[in-house]
Structure formats: structure tokens, C-alpha cells
Amino acid sequence: MEYPNLLPRFLKYVQVNSRSDEHSSRFPSTKREEDFQKQVIMTDLKTLGLNDVHYNQKSGCVIAELPATIDYDVPVMGFLAHSDTADFNSENVNPQIHRNYDGKSKIKLGDYEFYLDPEVFPNLKNYQGQTIITASGDTLLGGDDKCGVAELVTFAEYLLNHPEIKHGKIRLAFTPDEEIGTGASHFDVDEFGADFAFTVDGEAPGKLDWGTFSAAQFELDIQGVNVHPAVAKEQMINAIQIGIDFHNQLPHEEVPEKTEGRQGFFHLMNFKGTVDNAHLDYIIRDFERDGLEKRKALIKEIVTKMNEKFGTERIKLKMWDQYYNMADELAKRMDIVNLAREAYKSEGLPINEDPVRGGTDGSQLTYMGLPCPNLFAGEENMHGRYEYTVLESMYKAVDVMVKMATLNAINNK
């Protein structure tokens, strides 16, 4: 089904910079994403006439409710989308609309010599005759997850305009700081009031995520000794070199660019420093919980041995868990996964349940007591200038949510 307000709503949202900031000490991490939630999303929800539209300061979320259109109780279902975008230029996003794509041509990104090439990005070949939306080459698009945000608002609009569609009470949440992995830890599950939920933050139509990486993050602060290089022998301790030596002790093949499927990795995200001091940021990913623990143990072992060689704690390690594979918990609630499967099938979608090589807010929320698989939103090539989405994929995401709402009412009558 086509939803006439979805495209203009999405275009409006992506032009608002709501990028989060992992180095911020405030919550939500940036005022701009909080402003987007309060001034844009809340305004739109109130204009539509939803119930209980409010901002929860504790969780940093905009919350809203669709009232039931049935006279019997069913489990309360929730849908969530995150309001922030990733750490790529998000200022002055200029979305480009490419209608009736031929499925084989390169798509030029604005005035820049950057192209979406179907030979490089083969998923493009799936969208012949459809509408591709890109940025203009110097920013990300922000479809991750403003696709989900626009779809949730459009879903609410459609159900409000069609009270003849039978469904139970539905709760909506628009969350902050998903891209930096901290938003869900503040989520107020009790106040949200759903029995189960779905994040709408996935890729192509048919993608259903109920298995993710387990994840940890660590940082190293390395203290060197900086003396003049002319007299450095047996005195200088180069913090940059220590960082290189540490990194070279990790398994060389276990990095994102050399792994796929269910293979885990160590990923160096940031390395900055001088001879005197260096700082390194890493993430660790593994689908198995014991695999994650083994990787963490290896890090600790390397740091301990290097510090013992120096005779002092020259390398300071800080490491923490981010989220765990939701499949371990959702295996106990396959009725929720089956609800999504039934909706996908009824909408004629092939189902892709390959474990996602990442995580969503749902990973954390599931362990906080809110079972929360992830639905597709139509976003592709996230987190950079080559990001795009497909309008027809976004339509289909709304179709699926409407179908799930009706199935929840039918199956629990």
C-alpha cells in the first residue's frame, strides 16, 4: 500500500541533524537529538491526535499510545525507532529522489564524484522500477533510523484514520543514543507499559532480527616517556609504538574486513596519540557468550603481560559489556518471533533471519524484560555517504506493522 505522507515526512526528518555524540557527558548525548524528539516528533504525534504523547526525561524517549479498537484484552504491543544518526556528517542533509530506477545504472550522489554502483552494491539490482532515496555525497542520509521514525508515525496515522481496523493498545517509543549504544540502558520498561515490542531499525524487506552479536567495548590509555630523540636510547618509551605492539598481538584475521556470517572480531575504531600518551578504542563482537568472554580474557592477558614487562601499569585498560545476543532470551518467546513471521508471510515477503552482525536497542531491552526483536525499515548502506533507502521498502514496513497489529488482536481473541 502507498502512504502519501510517508515520503514528505521522511524527507523532513532527515534534514534535521540529530546526530548523537559518544564523547558527550549529557543525556541524551546531544541537545539537537533531544530537540528533534521534542520539537518535531512530539509535534507531529500531537497533531495526529495520539494519546499520552509525552517526553520521559529519565529515558530520553518520546512516548505515545494508540488506543485499542477492540473490547477485549490482548497483550500490549510496542514499536520503537531511534531518533539519532551515526557519526558521519549529518549537517545540511540534502536528500535526492531517484524515481523509477532501472536496476543497472550508477546513481550519482549530488555534485560529487561518488556513485551508488550496483556492481559494488548489488542490492540495488533488486529495486528496478522503484524509488531510491540517497543523500548528496557529502553527508549520510539518516535513514538509520529515520526510516523507522517516519514509518512509526505513518503507521500511527494510518490506524487513527482507519478505526475499523481491529487492534489492541499499542505503545510507541522514539529513543535516543542508539548509535552510541547508551540509549537503551536508560529505557523505562515499566513506564512504557508494553508486554513485548519490536524495534524498526533493520535493512531490506524480509529481514527479521532475533539474533545479534554479543558485544563489549574497551579502551586503552598508554603512558609513554618522551625524551629528545637524540638521547632516547634506553630512555624513551613511545606510547604510539606500545599501541602498535598491542594491536599486533590480536588475531590478524579476526577483524571486520576479514570476517562474515557468524565470525566474531576485534575492531580498532580510534587510535590517537603522541610519544608521551596514546589512546585506543576497540569494540569486540561474538555471537556466542563464551566466545565474547574468551576475547575479553585475551585482551586482559595481553595487557597484563605487557605491563609486567614494563614493571608498571603503563597500559590502563577499561572494558565493559554493551549488550548480549538476544537469541538466548527470545528462544523462550518464539510466539513473538512467530507473530512477525506470520505478518511477513501474509505480506508476501521472503523471510531472512540470518543473525545480524551488530546489535539494536532490542538487544538490551530484551535483557531488561521487554522482549524485542527487530523488523526491517528499508535502510541500506548505513553510516556513510553511500546510505540509501527505497520508498517501496518503507511502504512495506508500514504494511507489516499494520498486519502485526491485527494479528495480535486475532490470535489472542
269 contacts 263 by C-beta, under 8 angstroms = no
Which H or E run includes 76?
none
The C-alpha atoms of residue 45 and residue 392 are separated, in whole angstroms, by 23
Please report the pLDDT score of residue 104 as a whole number.
95
Please report the pLDDT score of residue 142 as a whole number.
96
Which H or E run includes 369?
none
Please report the pLDDT score of residue 355 as a whole number.
85
Angle at the Cα of 379 from the Cα atoms of 40 and 53, rounded to 5 degrees: 30
344 contacts 380 by C-beta, under 8 angstroms = no
Q: Give the sheet arrangement for strand 61-66, strand by strand.
A: 51-56, 61-66, 170-175, 77-82, 196-202, 374-376, 208-209
Please report the pLDDT score of residue 186 as a whole number.
94
pTM of the model: 0.88
Low-confidence ranges of the chain (pLDDT < 70): none
Please report the pLDDT score of residue 358 as a whole number.
79
CATH class of the domain whose range is 214-322: alpha beta
The C-alpha atoms of residue 58 and residue 28 are separated, in whole angstroms, by 10
Cβ neighbourhood burial of 342 (10 Å; 0-12, 13-18, 19+):
middle
Q: What one-character DSSP code corresponds to residue 317?
A: E
pLDDT tens figures, 286-302: 999 999 999 999 999 99
Please report the pLDDT score of residue 359 as a whole number.
73
The C-alpha atoms of residue 284 and residue 295 are separated, in whole angstroms, by 7
Task: Report the catalytic residues.
Answer: 84, 178
Structural domain spans, the chain: 6-211+325-411, 214-322
Please report the pLDDT score of residue 413 as a whole number.
86
Q: 212: which strand partners?
A: 356
Q: Does domain 6-211+325-411 have CATH number 3.30.420.300?
A: no
Please report the pLDDT score of residue 360 as a whole number.
72
Max CA separation in the chain (angstroms): 84
